[in-house]
Structure 1
């Protein structure tokens, strides 16, 4: 089970998003402290949009190395944050 580490504020202005992104940036870790044989699961994530403005997010978790599907989660959401290059996570993250 994945533990949620951050409560996302769904209604943000652009200025608030800039401040939040700068704060969250410090939480990103680019090192991978695991050996390849220790990795047991991998997930793929995607978001699509319909013509009515809804977004549809899907996460698929696969077992390694068999690639057996372990879990699929889909969600529908109407984004409140506009499309702004560099801030896609604020639009697609909540879904």
Structure 2
């Protein structure tokens, strides 16, 4: 199963005067399996881009989500990157954020 710990997200929605169009989307910050390498230990956060209409798919953060990804190429050079295609809430996280 493609279950991930989603730590949070940032969203943006603005009009780009230079390009003459609306720019909207979100970045989802998540963790996969813990890493155990010489230079990386534990849960290292990653970020994936998503369309702004995915915002309502994340009602509770942090939380565990089933997520599916697609690949997309950039406009110059054809370099592939991941984009979030679908997400479903599974479970809340069992820790508090109180200080």
If each structure's strand is expressed as a fraction of its own residues, which one has the higher value?
Answer: 2
TM-score normalised to the size of structure 2? 0.29
TM (norm. structure 1) is 0.30
